[in-house]
Chain A
Amino acid sequence: MKIVVCIKQVPDTTEVKLDPKTGTLIRDGIPSIINPDDKGGLEYALQLKEEYGAEVTVITMGPPQAEAVLREAFAMGADRAILLTSRKFAGADTLATSNALAGALRVLDFDLILAGRQAIDGDTAQVGPQIAEHLGIPQVSYLEDLKFDGNKTFRIKKQLEDGYQIVEVESPCLLTCLASAVKPRYMSVKGIVEAWDKEVEIWTEEKIDVNEEKLGLKGSPTKVKKAGAKEMKAAGQVHDGLSPEEAADLIIAKLKEKYII
């Protein structure tokens, strides 16, 4: 089986601070990480590899420094890594990004594509589903659990807002994963030692199968008009160790106190 995992390098938003004047993210000095949902996808891919045998390829689009997340993926156990990087890809919104990734996937062999549900820096949850649409393959999003029959069929527990759904889908297909559904493995020491022994393949627009008009700023219909910080509210209170009944009583009392109920 050939599995491709789409990953993204994102700033670790748990450490990001906002510039109080401009309301924009201060990214300087913030560590970059593999987007958590994508790392969940990589973990599923590595589990399938262990159980059924598979070649796991990771792919990312980004500036040259995005190579770091591909090295990390090698250290976790990925077999092959591709970095889509070129000035032509710059300024891409989700549509242009998914077009570039789909262009690369047309060149690659795959039975399964795994992507994260959404990235913590943009939270759009659009790129995975768009890739599936461009490629004309079935997709299941919000994957919470994954079973494989060892042949062609994946049985997926899909998270819904108020429950879950069990669906079956045949390869080739695309699944989007949740970070909360699986605990990604740690990089192994040996994986780290060997992470630079393998080559990260650099692909530009010339290598992929897509109309150049659909790439980068040119291929991006989204225009950001304004971005700002949410207004700060008063600090919250934490009440620990309450039983459900006590918690409910406390919430009711607080709501009454504020004349909300």
Chain B
Amino acid sequence: MDFSFTKQEELFLQMIRDFAENEVKPLAAEIDDLERFPEETVAKMGKIGIMGIPVPKEYGGQGGTNQMYTMAVEELSRVCATTGVVVSAHTSLCIAPIMENGTEEQKQKYLPKLASGEWIGAFGLTEPNAGTDAAMQQTTAVEEEDAYVLNGSKIFITNAGYAHVYIVFAMTDKSLGNKGISAFIVEKGTPGFSIGKKEKKLGIRGSATCELIFENCRIPKENLLGKVGKGFGIAMKTLDGGRIGIASQALGIAQGAMDETVKYTKERKQFGKAIAQFQNTQFQLAEMETNVNAARFLVRSAAYRKDNGLPYSKDAAMAKLFAAQTAMEVTTKAVQLHGGYGYTREYPVERMMRDAKITEIYEGTSEVQRMVIAAALLK
């Protein structure tokens, strides 16, 4: 398989690295520390097109590739995993399902504003009792005249509060199990829709993670996304794509920790020489680098398949499983190689280690990825 970049992708990499280094990295420690959503960065990203990379130009997007999108999430996450997930949740979990399942009217209405970053997107599937077992939806949507009336709540919703558009799943017919789930486009400010508690988290602390509450919330019928009863399939397909985004985030975190560790081990002296000169350090670095590159190939491969219209569900699951595992291992080793300094907030590796953990959990835990991979193998 050919993973070489196109000329456009090479130029894109130059731009996104420059942007990440100069606009995102300087804020990373602060937004983590203050648990502050980086609104100013989102505005800057919107202006140059980072909020709508794979959206076709006719819908106000940039006409870029999924490969470019994964490169963006990787490079942003390399310096700030919060910024990476803002883009990933917005693009993979809100824009993509509208692009893939929306009517022409829905696409015309939502995509231009989402792609320009004027509106931020979010996705509400998880509930207190429906995590990995996503089919156990308790939020209901009852048809009433020209609307569906939503009742229930969603938890752990990325970009909540700041997002204008939410893809929300609810039971339209409980008796049908997962075939009774439908998807809706819910706009901020709809009466009966409110944002609940904001979570205090271990990592990606700048990203807003909140509860969504629906109390007799009337959603106009034209905001049904896809067909009635097809919501579960839409959710699963959306998460297949989302996994490429989160795999890219994990890869970026791991690469960021590598960058910091290579630099630090060359500077830090103990026993009269740089610790990079000890074979233990060298072997650790070699192991870390090999895993990071293996993760990168899995991510590139999944994005390549998506760009070329090939099945990618298993590839995305493998990329996410391995990249998340790598992010956790590499950041843990990075802290170890930094010693006591690595445990302090003077150095970014402790933040990277905290940020890495979520990649093994959200958009399908590592266990779910193994289920997806095995199911594809054994079908």
Interface residues of A (CB under 8 A from B): 31, 71-72, 75, 185-190, 192-196
Contact A196 B62 (CB under 8 A): no
Q: For the complex, what is the distance from the CA of A195 to the CA of B68, rounded to whole Å?
A: 15
Once A188-B62, A190-B63 are accepted as A-B contacts, the answer to whether A196 and B7 lie under 8 Å apart by CB is yes
**B220 CB-CB contact with A under 8 Å:** no
**B163 CB-CB contact with A under 8 Å:** no
Contact A189 B11 (CB under 8 A): no
**Which residues of A are found within 8 Å of B11, using beta-carbon distances?**
71-72, 75, 187, 192, 195
What DSSP secondary structure best describes chain B's contact surface?
Answer: helix
Contact B8 A193 (CB under 8 A): yes
Once A71-B11, A195-B8, A195-B11 are accepted as A-B contacts, the answer to whether A189 and B18 lie under 8 Å apart by CB is no
Q: For the complex, what is the distance from the CA of A122 to the CA of B2, rounded to whole Å?
A: 39
Of B14, B18, B19, B57, which is within 8 A of A190 by CB?
B57
Contact A190 B8 (CB under 8 A): no
B287-316 residues with Cβ-Cβ distance < 8 A to A are: none
**Which residues of A are found within 8 Å of B57, using beta-carbon distances?**
190
Contact A189 B48 (CB under 8 A): yes
Binary interface profile of B, 49-90, with partner A (CB < 8 Å = 1, else 0)? 110110001000011100010000000000000000000000
Contact B18 A186 (CB under 8 A): yes
Contact A189 B64 (CB under 8 A): yes
Contact B64 A75 (CB under 8 A): no
For the complex of A and B, the 9 pairs showing the least CB-CB separation, nearest first, are: A189-B49, A189-B62, A190-B62, A187-B15, A188-B48, A186-B48, A188-B49, A193-B63, A192-B11
**Which residues of B are found within 8 Å of A187, using beta-carbon distances?**
11, 14-15, 48
Q: For the complex, what is the distance from the CA of A185 to the CA of B53, rounded to whole Å?
A: 18
Q: With A186-B15, A186-B18, A187-B14 given, can you name 5 additional A-B contacts, CB distance below 8 Å?
A: A186-B19, A189-B49, A189-B50, A190-B57, A193-B63
CB distance from A208 to the nearest CB of B (A): 28
What residue in chain A is nearest B9 (Cβ atoms)?
A: A192
**Which residues of B are found within 8 Å of A71, using beta-carbon distances?**
7, 11
CB distance from A42 to the nearest CB of B (A): 15
Q: For the complex, what is the distance from the CA of A185 to the CA of B15, rounded to whole Å?
A: 10
**Which residues of B are found within 8 Å of A188, using beta-carbon distances?**
47-49, 62
Contact B7 A75 (CB under 8 A): no
CB distance from B94 to the nearest CB of A (A): 18
**Which residues of A are found within 8 Å of B12, using beta-carbon distances?**
189, 192
Contact A75 B15 (CB under 8 A): yes
Q: For the complex, what is the distance from the CA of A14 to the CA of B15, rounded to whole Å?
A: 17
Contact A193 B62 (CB under 8 A): yes
Contact B19 A192 (CB under 8 A): no
B11-53 residues with Cβ-Cβ distance < 8 A to A are: 11-12, 14-15, 18-19, 47-50, 52-53
CB distance from B270 to the nearest CB of A (A): 21
CB distance from B226 to the nearest CB of A (A): 28
**Which residues of A are found within 8 Å of B52, using beta-carbon distances?**
189
**Which residues of A are found within 8 Å of B49, using beta-carbon distances?**
188-190
CB distance from B254 to the nearest CB of A (A): 24
**Which residues of B are found within 8 Å of A194, using beta-carbon distances?**
63
Q: For the complex, what is the distance from the CA of A194 to the CA of B19, rounded to whole Å?
A: 19
CB distance from A196 to the nearest CB of B (A): 6
Q: For the complex, what is the distance from the CA of A71 to the CA of B7, rounded to whole Å?
A: 10
**10 A-B contacts, Cβ less than 8 Å apart?**
A31-B14, A71-B7, A72-B14, A187-B11, A187-B48, A189-B52, A189-B53, A193-B8, A195-B7, A196-B8
**Which residues of A are found within 8 Å of B62, using beta-carbon distances?**
188-190, 193
**Which residues of A are found within 8 Å of B14, using beta-carbon distances?**
31, 72, 187
Q: For the complex, what is the distance from the CA of A195 to the CA of B14, rounded to whole Å?
A: 14
Q: For the complex, what is the distance from the CA of A194 to the CA of B57, rounded to whole Å?
A: 11
**Which residues of B are found within 8 Å of A196, using beta-carbon distances?**
7-8
**Which residues of B are found within 8 Å of A193, using beta-carbon distances?**
8, 62-64
CB distance from B303 to the nearest CB of A (A): 15
Binary interface profile of B, 179-223, with partner A (CB < 8 Å = 1, else 0)? 000000000000000000000000000000000000000000000
**Which residues of A are found within 8 Å of B50, using beta-carbon distances?**
189
What residue in chain B is nearest A183 (Cβ atoms)?
A: B22
What residue in chain B is nearest A185 (Cβ atoms)?
A: B48
**Which residues of A are found within 8 Å of B48, using beta-carbon distances?**
185-189
Q: For the complex, what is the distance from the CA of A31 to the CA of B12, rounded to whole Å?
A: 15
**Which residues of A are found within 8 Å of B19, using beta-carbon distances?**
186
**Which residues of A are found within 8 Å of B63, using beta-carbon distances?**
190, 193-194
Instruction: Please indicate which of the listed interface residues B11, B12, B18, B52 has the most CB atoms of chain A within 10 Å of its own CB.
Output: B11
Q: For the complex, what is the distance from the CA of A189 to the CA of B64, rounded to whole Å?
A: 7
Q: For the complex, what is the distance from the CA of A188 to the CA of B8, rounded to whole Å?
A: 12
**Which residues of A are found within 8 Å of B8, using beta-carbon distances?**
192-193, 195-196
CB distance from B11 to the nearest CB of A (A): 5
Contact B7 A189 (CB under 8 A): no
CB distance from A236 to the nearest CB of B (A): 17
